[in-house]
Amino acid sequence: MMNFFLGVDLGTSSLKIILGDEKGRLLGSSSSSFSITSTQIGYSEQNPKDWLSAFELALTEIIQQFPEIKKSPLTIGLSGQMHTLVLLDSYGEVLRPAILWNDGRTTEEVKELKQLVGDHLLEIEKNIPLEGFTLPKIRWIQKNEPDLWEQTWKFMLPKDYLVYSLTGNAYTELSDGAGTIMVDIQNHCWDEALLNKLSIPLDKCPEIKASTAIIGEMKDELKEEYGLTGTVSFVLGGADNACGAFATISDRQTQGLISVGTSGVVLAYTDAEEPKNLGKYHYFNSVIENVHYKMGVTLSAGYSLDWFKKILSPTESFENFTKTAEESMIGSHGISFLPYLFGERSPYFDTNMTGSLIGLRAHHKKEDIVRAIMEGIAFSLKNVYENMGYGQTSRIKTFRMTGGVTKNPFWSQMFADIFQAKIEILAFDEGPAYGALLCAVSGMQDEEIIESWIDTNYVKYTYIPTKEGKKYEIPYQRFIQFSRQQLTNH
């Protein structure tokens, strides 16, 4: 009987499921959306029950499309939005709306953590405290909703709450656990010294399991509801970016990941030696046992281009809008764009930074501004990458690229020239859901099935740095200078 695999990605605005089989074939997908609520400035919350409803709708659609999976063995892997805090009581009921990763209420808690345990966090958790991480959210709950904290049986992360609801098992894994900044990165366990100092009982933390280990089966009553008669097993999978890397990078020694969606990410696996330049990037556990990764984020990447298009050419197609940039030249005739529309994450970690178009003159045209924005996004991600401790002599020779940028050959070539590295684009780009599916495949521990999936996602397009690419160095240094000037002025 054919084995089937589901990759489930629980994002910030929707849940996506992809279906594959043991022959390495991607068969179909479905999705269901949900909303964010904000009761006051800086607050960003969701009802975890909405995630369950979205899963139910998406899975039902997949079953309707592929009824043959009803009787077959299913293995399900998950990926999910990081850092978001879910609180459950001893009956497994949700105590309050989940506080999302992009919630900004914890500025005071971040300041407090820097004073109390800042050095400890950098040494053991390998990260500085930020509003997005889970620990400051827990501190906020302890101070502002102490009765709810007292009632809390377990805190959870979104994908782990979904697994708990479907199996009854309360676990997490290291890639998501690392994003709480409460995990000892090197020793792969909850940091009990930190928990004790901050009055967080260890038994409120979910037990840590391997990302690709089968941790349970779907509850019988749920299987009956869906009409599933075969075994339905779960692996925990991993955090969204960890799963994105697992889906995309095939050679950890020489490849990195560039993702350009609303935000932008640069990610590279790292050796076991003590990381350098900590605090300029994120350093997390991956879904691969005993492997870590460095990651930096530009908050407004593709969003910057989308934002400007809505202002300048709301009715023009995105393809035509970006094509105008080809009429400009490298360096955009002296215009620099700083993509800090939401402040900035890596490498500056400053919410007060602002987006800027610098160097505008009367002779500039639309194509110069559009190109400047495209260059500025790529420059920002290169700056992120270099602050991760990499340079032109880096071991990373190839970047696998994902996101909307992959549909634009001109912009993809620009990235190859700016990074002075080969850019590869894979045959299909299913993002974290594909990484979650691969975690499910790995859970089978069948080398033949794993190999079939490795061979499936071949390199479709390759971009090589051109001789002209060296000309980006001057505008890139100008970008760095303007960014540092703005940071200093704050």
Provide the annotated active-site residues: 240
Residue 395 makes CB contacts below 8 A (sequence gap 6+) with 253, 254
Would you put residue 359 in left (φ > 0), alpha (ψ -120 to 50) or beta? left
**Residue 147: in which H helix or E strand, if any?**
helix 146-151
Question: What is the phi/psi pair of residue 280, to 5°?
Answer: -95, -5
How many whole angstroms separate alpha carbon 483 and alpha carbon 356? 10
| Length of the chain (residues) | 490
Query: What's the rounded Cα separation, in Å, for the pair 57 and 104?
Result: 31
17 Cβ neighbours under 8 A, 6+ residues apart:
6, 7, 8, 9, 29, 30, 31, 55, 58, 59, 62, 433
User: What is d(CA 52, CA 167) in angstroms, rounded to the nearest whole number?
Assistant: 13
Residue 2 CB coordination number (10 Å): 11
Query: E strand or H helix at 232, and its extent?
Result: strand 232-235
Sign of the Cα pseudo-torsion (116, 117, 122, 127, in order): negative
The answer to whether 94 and 48 are in contact (CB under 8 A) is: yes
CA dihedral 227, 233, 238, 240 (to 10 degrees): -20
The answer to whether 244 touches 431, Cβ cutoff 8 Å, is: yes
Token pair for residue 465? 């740095």
